[in-house]
């Protein structure tokens, strides 16, 4: 019996009609969609072209999904009016409307592209990705479908030197760690070990109390499965210490012994310090925890000026938080120890470190009890010139902090006139007041103000020049060596100074001091000469 095995043409046609259409996979589709969509957050002259290209891509996507009921959303008949309507809509509506037509892989591609743009130095316009990610955090279930992939991308493209977008990365990783702690900690440990040279994103997760608690708890769970040689004994001590503080499971008298066991300050493993200090700063924001940490104040002082600027800032903030919980009698002796550590920070390159150290100094003046007043007065004399000159600091926050500190010194000494001069920022008259109070300090003032002639800030160079010129006039005939060295410095300043007005002031000051030194009277009175440097 013969069997006809030849295919029937009608059946073949039916099979062809029923076969699903193969979808075209475009790996870079998320990049394309993201870059075009981000332009809608900041309309420009080429908006019509952007809308046209995005409309074509969205129409293509819709056509691809038409045979897939699970990912198909009924598209508009005409894409251009739909997308054009997004341009002037709120950011929340833009993101919700855009995401409605995308599948999970496409939405994830757009998120990853936004992160990549933020991490690149060579891309200037980042407003769109920033606004987009802010809205994504409001609708995470729609956009953050693959948390480990997002976390890996964050760690890959984050660069702490890219200060323009660092905070955006911090906000995103904090959000993720708070919502999906186990996934974030697992992925972050794979990307960057917790105790390594690159801990900025870990520090961000440690900067919010609630997130810190969740992350530390998850770390404890995960490290139980690690081999003993993964973490050193000191690193384990750090995690144990932070866990006990985080959950409040430690008495005040046990805090310092636990800290001492870590040998943190003397440790060659410097990478542990930023994380521990970030956690201590965050924990100290709680009044109850700050009270338990008072025994750590001497340890915090050891970090000031001896480490990087961000370490000093965290130590300063922790010190301030803890000190704020102490009674005046407890705080006074610690205040005296702290002021000498603060002086070297007044001239720090970083504005935030100058401002914080000067502000803390001012607070410490108010923490002094009667038996420590004289010692605090002696310390105040030592920083008087620094603070007076920093009233001319180009950073408004530093200038304001310096003025407030000088006012606080005036109150300590009960100098009503000096306080009024400081409030009015009359630096010339403040200098005259100080010299009138104690003219024997004239040489000290000259030596203390002279380094500021090399300040990168023109306003500071000018203030130092005026202060120095006034103080140096008291040295005529008293200290020729100091006067000669100063005249040499003024001559060099006149030639190297780029600001013509300051160069002229240096020349005039040198002329006045030379005239005083040689005791020449050329028809101008001493008072007339002195007016030149006002």
**pLDDT tens profile 136-152:** 999 999 999 999 999 99
- Mean pLDDT to the nearest integer, 110-126: 89
Indicate the average pLDDT of the chain: 86
Q: What is the pLDDT of residue 4?
A: 43
93-99 long-range contacts (CB < 8 A, ≥24 apart) are 94/37, 94/40, 94/41, 94/135, 95/132, 95/135, 95/136, 95/139, 95/143, 96/135, 96/139, 96/142, 98/37, 99/139, 99/142, 99/143
Cβ 283 vs Cβ 245: under 8 Å: yes
Among the residue ranges 300-314, 371-385, 415-429, 469-483, the one predicted with the least confidence is 469-483
Residue written as token pair 């000096």: 418
pTM exceeding the 0.85 threshold for the entire prediction: no
Q: Work out the pLDDT band at 248, boundaries 50, 70, 90.
A: confident
Whole-angstrom distance, CA of residue 182 vs CA of residue 199: 18
Q: What is the pLDDT of residue 6?
A: 46
Whole-angstrom distance, CA of residue 161 vs CA of residue 155: 14
Looking at per-residue pLDDT, the higher value among 11 and 362 belongs to 362
Question: What residues does each domain of the chain span?
Answer: 24-145, 328-433, 438-534
Q: Work out the pLDDT band at 429, boundaries 50, 70, 90.
A: very high
With vertex at residue 471, the alpha carbon angle to CA 404 and CA 503, rounded to the nearest 5 degrees, is 90
Whole-angstrom distance, CA of residue 221 vs CA of residue 527: 77
């Amino acid at each position: 019996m013969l069997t006809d095995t030849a295919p029937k043409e009608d059946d073949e046609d039916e099979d062809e009609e029923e076969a699903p259409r193969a979808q075209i996979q475009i790996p870079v589709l998320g990049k394309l969609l993201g870059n075009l969509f981000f332009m809608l957050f900041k309309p420009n002259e080429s908006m019509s072209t952007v809308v046209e290209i995005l409309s074509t891509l969205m129409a293509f996507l819709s056509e691809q999904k038409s045979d897939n009921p699970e990912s198909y959303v009924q598209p508009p008949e005409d894409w251009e009016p739909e997308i054009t309507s997004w341009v002037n809509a709120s950011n929340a509506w833009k993101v919700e409307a855009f995401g409605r037509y995308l599948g999970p892989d496409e939405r994830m591609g757009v998120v990853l592209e936004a992160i990549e743009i933020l991490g690149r130095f060579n891309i200037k316009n980042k407003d769109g990705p920033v606004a987009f990610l802010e809205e994504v955090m409001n609708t995470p279930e729609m956009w953050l479908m693959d948390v480990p992939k997002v976390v890996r991308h964050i760690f890959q493209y984050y660069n702490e030197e890219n200060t323009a977008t660092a905070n955006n990365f911090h906000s995103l990783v904090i959000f993720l760690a708070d919502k999906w702690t186990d996934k974030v900690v697992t992925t972050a440990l794979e990307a960057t070990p917790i105790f390594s040279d690159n801990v900025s994103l870990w520090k961000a997760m440690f900067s919010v109390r609630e997130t810190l608690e969740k992350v530390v708890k998850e770390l404890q769970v995960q490290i139980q499965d690690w081999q003993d040689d993964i973490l050193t004994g000191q690193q384990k001590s750090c995690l144990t210490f932070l866990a006990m503080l985080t959950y409040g499971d430690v008495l005040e008298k046990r805090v310092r012994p636990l800290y001492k066991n870590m040998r943190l300050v003397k440790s060659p493993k410097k990478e542990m310090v930023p994380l521990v200090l970030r956690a201590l700063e965050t924990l100290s924001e709680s009044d109850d925890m700050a009270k338990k940490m008072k025994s750590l104040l001497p340890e915090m002082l050891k970090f000031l000026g001896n480490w990087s600027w961000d370490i000093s800032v965290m130590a300063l903030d922790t010190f301030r938080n803890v000190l704020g919980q102490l009674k005046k009698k407890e705080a006074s002796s610690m205040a005296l120890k702290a002021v000498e550590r603060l002086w070297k920070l007044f001239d720090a390159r970083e504005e935030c470190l100058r401002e914080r150290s000067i502000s803390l100094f001012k607070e410490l003046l108010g923490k002094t009890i009667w038996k420590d007043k004289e010692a605090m007065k002696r310390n105040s004399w030592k920083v008087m010139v620094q603070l007076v000159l920093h009233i001319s600091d180009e950073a408004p926050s530093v200038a304001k902090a310096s003025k407030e500190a000088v006012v606080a010194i005036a109150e300590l000494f009960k100098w009503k006139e000096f306080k009024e001069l400081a409030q009015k920022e009359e630096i010339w008259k403040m200098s005259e007041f100080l010299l009138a109070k104690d003219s024997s300090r004239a040489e000290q003032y000259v030596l203390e103000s002279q380094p500021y002639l090399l300040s990168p800030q023109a306003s500071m160079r000018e203030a130092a020049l005026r202060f120095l010129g006034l103080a140096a006039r008291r040295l005529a005939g008293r200290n020729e060596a100091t006067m000669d060295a100063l005249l040499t410095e003024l001559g060099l300043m006149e030639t190297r100074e780029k600001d013509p007005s300051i160069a002229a002031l240096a020349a005039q000051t040198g002329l006045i001091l030379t005239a005083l030194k040689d005791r020449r009277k050329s028809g101008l009175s001493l008072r007339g000469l002195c007016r030149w440097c006002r």
